[in-house]
Amino acid sequence: MNTQIDNLLHEYRKFPPSEKFSREAEVSADLYDEAKADRLEFWARQARELLHWDTPFTRTLDWTNPPFAKWFDDGKLNVAYNCLDRHVEAGNGSRVAFHWEGEQGDTRTVTYAELTEEVKRAANVLAGLGIGQGDRVAIYLPMIPEAVISMLAVARLGAAHSVIFGGFSADSIRSRVDDASAKLVITADGGWRKGKVSALKPAVDAALEARGDLGPQETVTNVLVVKRGENEVDWTENRDLWWHDEMAKASAEHDAEAFEAENPLFILYTSGTTGKPKGILHTSGGYLTQCAFTHKAVFDLKPESDVFWCTADVGWITGHSYVVYGPLANGTTQVLYEGTPDTPHPGRWWEIIEKYKVTTFYTAPTAIRSFMKLGRKIPKKFDLSSIRLLGSVGEPINPEAWMWYRKVIGAKAAPIVDTWWQTETGAIMISALPAVTETKPGSAQVPIPGIAIDVVDEAGVPVGADSGGLLVVTEPWPAMLRGIWGDPERYKETYWEKFGDKYFAGDGARLDHEGDIWLLGRVDDVMNVSGHRLSTAEIESALVAHPFTAEAAVVGASDETTGQAVVAFVIIKESMLEESAAVEDIAAVLRSHVGEQIGPIARPRDVFVVNELPKTRSGKIMRRLLRDVAEGREVGDTTTLADTTVMQIITGQVTAK
Ligand code: WT7
């Protein structure tokens, strides 16, 4: 990390937007002035201009009960109507909403008129199953149009969705379905991944199995199953229904009812510093306003001519905000791709860009770095000349990857917007505006208009130019989380207790001499692996749940491709030493155990079996020292350890392997 910071501080290159790009751009620097003059009025104007309100709001922000914000709260709207019907009514029904590409090369083109009709049908199906305002629906689907249709159908009825990423395990589904008391689960038999069908329904079946304790079987009345993988599935009569059967029976007429701006739109679970994922709650009007605004301003959106491709899965916040809500609210044409970047060949993404003439491409640094490793020859085989703008999200992008992205994918011309935000912020918070900002490789740069951000020290005092500290948001923003589902105390504690009146993001940051922001990674026990957030505590508790494990400590070690990688140190129980010695590859056993408990994304890269863990006299594990070992560095200051020889032993054990 330190060497990385040093490198960043010597990064002085700047890339101004081309004269042509600025001239043709949708937004200009005036936005900053407008927002500065009257921040709330600025957001009110965005809300009025970008969205359709059935009942116009008269109040912009209610911050009388901080940290619980209400935006536009006396207004009413329907989120799905804003993403669908109004585009059709405006005469744009034949515009393509999605160029969908299956991993096997099968395709589907879905226009706004078709998407609207499908969502209306699905809303009727869901309403028939008893779903309405005040309910939650869990969605566990591959990247197929039905994922988007399901989300919008839930939104149309005023219910809230909880999308669970397809890579999560049965246990993770169970805890999420349970926490939100979901009434319905929408899943598929399976989806295509890496050249074969990866089953999904069995995980839902296992999650809903009665286990004697109170569980999701208490709340879930139906499972709606999309046929995609054509794999064999078990069937629970009176509970399971085929999507295509129900859709065929449903009417395509459905009038969207307007709901309050603060009606819950979705819950999305994300890892925190404890073992239990947090259900981040987002509501309707403010969230949709900021998604639509940032999508338009940051990506310089031209809805008639752009083809936008955000590669994120809808199981993550990036997919919610920049595949579903922002782009559809703006009437955008998009690419939706089911599979992995390297199936059936490593040029698959570039082939898709060429095929659909993608103009705006938004992906994560980890993907860029893995393509970089494969070499420029692969993307060079495809015509990428349609690209005019590139985006990055999920983790800091190192200047080397930034330069490669610009040169090889952006033909040395496309501006790059490095966008910082979080599941909790709902939408982009820090980013260049491509027509305005001179971009700097590696820096996310400046808060977008209407957003107030600072870097402060431990006492909450702004550090000023050329210094480092903690990133905070100093004013409420429209897409901010409204809380943690069912746990208002945890919401206050996690984000607001540290500074009282400022939102603590959990990221370290530095301001350079020009006031631009450089993100430096998490300052808490949250790891960022391939742009996905993982909690050390959650993986530790999964490891300790294995009968072999007495104690476990997990760290995020820097990794060339994935940014960070999960590295675990495990102590085996005395009573299990013999049994575990008989296992040929104990690390593999524990790795796959974590995969089963949480999901494949959480599987540690390395598992080291050790006899001791470094602890302070008060018993706190010193992860900093373990990170030194995991990164192959000389171990730092050990003087606060209860037993200072422990690190020599651990280093010896790890390097002996
Ligand atoms: C964490 C949020 C929101 C998109 C996907 C991740 C890190 C995100 C950047 C960036 C440096 C970034 C932060 C943040 N992060 N974008 N452009 N530069 N770091 O959402 O899973 O909620 O994770 O991702 O550490 O706190 P998430």
Q: Is residue 538 part of a domain?
A: yes
Q: What is the pLDDT of residue 6?
A: 55
| Integer Cα distance of 420 and 393 in angstroms | 6
Question: Rounded to the nearest 5°, which phi and psi values hold at 439?
Answer: -80, 150
Which of 443, 473, 508 is the endpoint of a domain?
508
For residue 371, the domain's CATH number is: 3.40.50.12780
pLDDT at 212: 62
- Strand partners for 242: 225
Q: DSSP secondary structure string, 172-195?
A: HHHHHHHHTT-SEEEEESEEEETT
Q: 252 falls in which pLDDT band (50, 70, 90)? A: very high
Rounded mean pLDDT of 233-262? 98
Checking ipTM against 0.90, whether it exceeds it is yes
Same-domain status, 458 and 556: no
74 among annotated binding-site residues: no
* pLDDT of 458 strictly over 90: yes
> Rounded to an integer, what distance in angstroms lies between the CA atom of residue 614 and that of residue 618?
11
Q: Is the dihedral of CA 585, 586, 592, 596 positive or negative?
A: positive
406 is in an annotated binding site: no
Instruction: Please tell me the total count of domains within the chain.
Output: 2
Which of 14-18, 19-23, 167-171, 630-634 has the least mean pLDDT? Answer: 630-634
Residue 583: per-residue pLDDT: 87
Among the candidates 478, 508, 538, a domain finishes at: 508
CATH of the domain at 581: 3.30.300.30
Same domain, 492 and 574: no
**pLDDT reported for residue 637:** 85
The answer to whether 395 is annotated as binding is yes
Tell me, yes or no, whether 513 lies in a domain: no
The finding on whether 529 has its CB within 6 A of some atom of ligand 1 is no
> pLDDT tens digits, residue range 367-398?
999 999 999 999 999 999 999 999 999 999 99
Distance 511 CA to ligand 1 centre (A): 18
Q: Are 642 and 618 in contact (CB under 8 A)?
A: no
Q: Are residues 490 and 561 located together in one domain of the fold?
A: no
Task: Give the strand pairing for 389-393 and 416-419.
Answer: parallel
Question: In terms of Cα–Cα distance, which of 327, 310, 331 is closest to 390?
Answer: 310
Say if 476 falls within a structural domain: yes
| Cα–Cα distance, 195 to 201 (Å, whole number) | 19
Residue 523 lies in a domain: no
CA distances 347 to 304, 362, 366, 413, 465, Å, are 28, 17, 16, 21, 42
**Burial 379-402, CB ≥16 within 10 A → b, else e:** beebebeebbbbbbbbbbbbbebb
Structure tokens at 354: 């060429």
Q: What is the mean pLDDT of residues 56-85?
A: 98
Whose CA is closest to atom 20 on ligand 1? 422
- Measured CA to CA in angstroms, residue 597 lies from 267, 421, 590, 600 at distances of 21, 28, 10, 9
How much distance in Å is there from the Cα of 432 to the middle of ligand 1?
16
Q: Whose CA is nearest to atom 5 of ligand 1?
A: 394
In a domain? residue 498: yes
CA distance 455 to 438: 21
Q: What span, in angstroms and rounded, lies between the C-alpha atoms of 170 and 97?
A: 32
Confidence of residue 634 (pLDDT cuts 50, 70, 90): confident
Ligand 1 within 6 A of CB of 522: yes
Which of 420, 564, 601 for mutating ligand 1's site (highest number of atoms within 8 Å of CB)? 420
Indicate if the pLDDT at residue 507 is higher than 80.
yes
Q: Does residue 2 surpass a pLDDT of 50?
A: no
| Pairing label, strands 184-188, 160-163 | unpaired
H-only helix segments in 519-572: 536-544
Instruction: State in Å: Cα 400 to ligand 1 middle.
Output: 19
Tokens 């943690």 -> residue: 484
Comparing CA positions, the residue from 429, 428, 423, 535 lying closest to residue 482 is 423
Q: Quick: pLDDT tens for 39-58.
A: 999 999 999 999 999 999 99
Ligand 1: does its nearest atom lie under 6 Å from the Cβ of 418? Answer: yes
The last residue of a domain, from among 508, 538, 557: 508
In whole angstroms, give the CA distance from residue 377 to residue 346.
11
Q: Is the pLDDT of residue 1 over 90?
A: no
Residues 68 and 120 in one domain: yes
Distance in angstroms (rounded) separating the CA atoms of residues 152 and 81 = 9
Note the pLDDT of residue 185.
Answer: 98
> Do 236 and 134 belong together in one domain?
yes
Domain that holds residue 582: 530-655
Residue 520 forms part of a structural domain: no
d(CA 405, CA 407) in angstroms, rounded, equals 6
Shared domain check, 534 and 486: no
Q: Are 498 and 580 in a shared domain?
A: no
Q: Which residue has the tokens 């921040």?
A: 39
Same structural domain for residues 551 and 426? no
Same domain, 319 and 446: yes
pLDDT for 4 equals 58
- Within a domain: residue 644? yes
Task: Look over the chain and give the mean of its residue pLDDT values, rounded to a whole number.
Answer: 94
381 is in an annotated binding site: no
Query: Residue of the nearest CA to atom 4 in ligand 1?
Result: 394
Q: Which residues pair with 225 in a beta bridge?
A: 187, 242
Compute the distance between CA of residue 145 and CA of residue 328 in angstroms, rounded to an integer.
13
Residue that is written with structure tokens 């709260």 in the block: 73
**pLDDT, tens digit (0-9, with 9 covering 90-100), for 540-555:** 989 999 999 999 999 9
Distance from residue 602's CA to the centre of ligand 1 (Å): 17
pTM score of the predicted model: 0.93
* 538 and 484 inside one domain: no
**Residue 396 Cβ < 6 Å to ligand 1:** yes
Cβ 318 under 6 angstroms from ligand 1: yes
Rounded to an integer, the average pLDDT of 433-445 is 96
Q: Do 168 and 288 belong to one domain?
A: yes
Determine whether the annotation assigns residue 575 to a binding site.
no
* β partners of residue 453: 473
Judge whether 645 is annotated as a binding position. Answer: no
Same domain, residue pair 249 and 352: yes
Strand (E) or helix (H) holding 229: none
- The whole-number pLDDT of residue 258 equals 98
Whole-number Cα distances in Å, 549 to 519, 587, 595: 36, 11, 16
Q: pLDDT-based confidence at 5, cuts 50/70/90?
A: low
626 occurs within a structural domain: yes
